[in-house]
Amino acid sequence: MATISFYGAAGTVTGSRFLLELRGRKILIDCGLFQGRKKDRLKNWDSFPVPPAEIDRVFVTHAHIDHSGYLPRFVKEGYSGHIHCTYATHDLCKIMLRDSAHLQEEDARWANKKGFSKHSPALPLYTADDAEQALSLFYPLHYGEEFLIGDKTRVKFKDAGHILGSSFIDIKTHPEHEAKKILFSGDFGRSAKLILKEPGQVYNVDYLVLESTYGDRLHKETSLTEELIRVITESADRGGVLLIPAFAVGRTQSLLFMIRELEEKGKIPVQDVYVDSPMAINVTSIFSKRISDLNIQTRVLALQGKHVFHPRRINFCRSRDQSKAINNKKSGAIVISASGMATGGRILHHLKKRLPNANDTMLFIGYQAEGTRGRTILEGKPSVKIHGEHIPIKAKVEQIMGFSGHADYNEILAWLMGFNRAPEKTFIVHGSPAASESLAQKIRAQFGWDVVVAEFGSSHELNL
């Protein structure tokens, strides 16, 4: 027998942490930070229910901070075993964990300077040294490579198609009479992505742990290409600059790929393209390095000698001076900067410069959460507060959906239809309560499977 316990991403969409106790070993699947609401973020400061020193192995599905960002704290509290993931996830975690540690330290310094913390002094959740210690424990694996824990349990990573390096984690045990398998979906990707492979199909699954971020939603049937052509062309005709807030991992690279393709086909005018985010620049380098992990169309283009993420007049802006120099551009430019919801980063300086200008265009390419500056701008408010100033919004505001890396419920159901038999039990995680329950009901109705919506802190026995 085995036990699975849900210590994160249960009742929430963040903080992925699942403990599998199997054959006398404790295995942690994902080690993510809670993000979003304050009551969720405060859980990051709670001691892990099991002392980290007692955990034998950690497996990470992908590099997003809500799946990997607790690792430095986990190591700080005593974990010293190996951390396993794909090679691309390891590359991305080198960037993202170091950046997360920097933000933790900056937040603590700011709290001490302004005196708004209840603690004196305010301390970071973890430091840059903690992040380096965690990174020293990584032991990456290739997709499909079999890794043995003991002599009767094997682990394998399979492509989940969510971001570069993302994976399903396939754990198979070999008891005396019959093999048993549990599969962790991590974040589930979409089919027909621009540069990523489709999620792999799996078989003979006895227990399934399945994400539900879009468990109650469908992606809109819109043509990304046609919409992007329209927005870029109208921006150029208006004689202004197109400003795009974009996440550093995935969204920026997809945009660069599309802009290059459209330029080559003569569908859009060739303009200066600025990537103004050191993290996005570093991540783009990793995408270029890991072309073999991308889909066949992208690999063929690379074999033909194309720099697939380089539009004709690409400018990578690392320094602050390079970033400030973009302000001199009055027209004929596309600026891609972080963060994707305009919550922080260099994008704020560009917003202050561009929002008051009616010739400029703001393009959002993803969901803008309630309470973010992105949502304020999208809602048509006359101004938005940035760095203590109310900035008037006169620029043209656009939104294109469809860049999400999460499958919607139809895409998930279509993937489940490929299973050769029903799992003994399916656990729904990583979604709002409404989204998780909605997906659970759909799976029960479509397939008649035994489905449980996981609750935070709950444990279940498994026949593994």
State pLDDT tens for residues 205-218: 999 999 999 999 99
Mean pLDDT of 171-192: 87
Amino acid 174: pLDDT: 81
Last residue of a domain, one of 376, 399, 422: 399
pLDDT of residue 121: 81
Please give the tally of structural domains in the chain.
2
Tell me which amino acid residue 371 is.
Answer: G
Residues 34-67, buried b or exposed e (16+ Cβ, 10 A)?
bbeeeebeebbeeebeeebeebbbbbbbbbbbbb
Bridge partners (DSSP) of residue 173 are 153, 180
Q: Which DSSP category does 84 fall into?
A: E
The arithmetic mean of pLDDT across residues 40-67, rounded, is 95
164 plus 292 within the same structural domain: no
Q: Are residues 317 and 352 in the same domain?
A: yes
| 439-464 residue pLDDT tens | 999 999 999 999 999 999 999 999 98
For residues 298 and 253, state if they share a domain.
yes
247 and 193: one domain? no
Other CB atoms within 10 Å distance of the CB of residue 428: 24
> In the Cβ-directed half-sphere of 24, how many Cα atoms lie within 13 Å?
4
Q: Region of 371 please: left (phi>0), alpha (psi -120 to 50) or beta.
A: left
| Confidence (pLDDT) at 368 | 77
Asked if residue 82 and residue 23 are part of one domain, the reply reads yes
Domain end residue (candidates: 369, 399, 429): 399
Q: The pTM is what?
A: 0.93
How many angstroms separate the first and last alpha carbons of the chain? 5
Residues 6 or more apart whose CB falls under 8 angstroms from that of 110 comprise none
Domain's final residue, options 371, 399, 427: 399
164 and 143 in a common domain: yes
Question: Residue 205: its pLDDT value, please?
Answer: 97
Query: Does residue 169 contact residue 255 with C-beta atoms inside 8 Å?
Result: no
pLDDT digits (tens, 9 = 90+) for 224-278: 899 999 999 999 999 999 999 998 999 999 999 999 999 999 999 999 999 999 9
Q: What is the pLDDT of residue 152?
A: 86
- What gap in Å lies between CA 210 and CA 237, rounded to an integer? 46
Whether residue 380 sits in one domain with residue 421: no
DSSP codes of every residue in 323-391: HHHGGG--SSEEEEES-TTSSSSTHHHHHHHHTT-TT-EEEE-S---TTSHHHHHHTT-SEEEETTEEE
User: Order of strands across the sheet with 396-399?
Assistant: 313-316, 272-276, 333-337, 241-245, 361-364, 396-399
Beta carbons of 55 and 25 less than 8 angstroms apart: no
Q: Which two tokens stand for residue 194?
A: 């621009």
What is the Cα–Cα distance from 424 to 212, expressed in whole angstroms? 19
Amino acid at 442: K
Instruction: List the one residue out of 26, 290, 1, 311 whose CA is nearest residue 166.
Output: 290
Pick the closest to residue 100 from 50, 34, 161, 52 (CA basis).
34
State the residue range of the domain holding 41: 2-217+406-462
For the domain that residue 258 is a member of, what is the CATH number?
3.40.50.10890
CB 392 within 8 A of CB 431: no
Whether residue 84 is found in the same domain as residue 151: yes
Cα dihedral sign, 19-37-282-300: positive
The answer to whether residues 393 and 443 belong to one domain is: no
| Residues 445 and 314 both lie in one domain | no
pLDDT, tens only, 304-352: 999 999 999 999 999 999 999 999 999 999 999 988 778 778 899 999 9
**CATH, residue 42:** 3.60.15.10
Same domain, 192 and 277: no
Cβ–Cβ < 8 Å for 332, 236:
yes
Same domain membership, residue 380 and residue 243: yes
- pLDDT at res. 342: 80
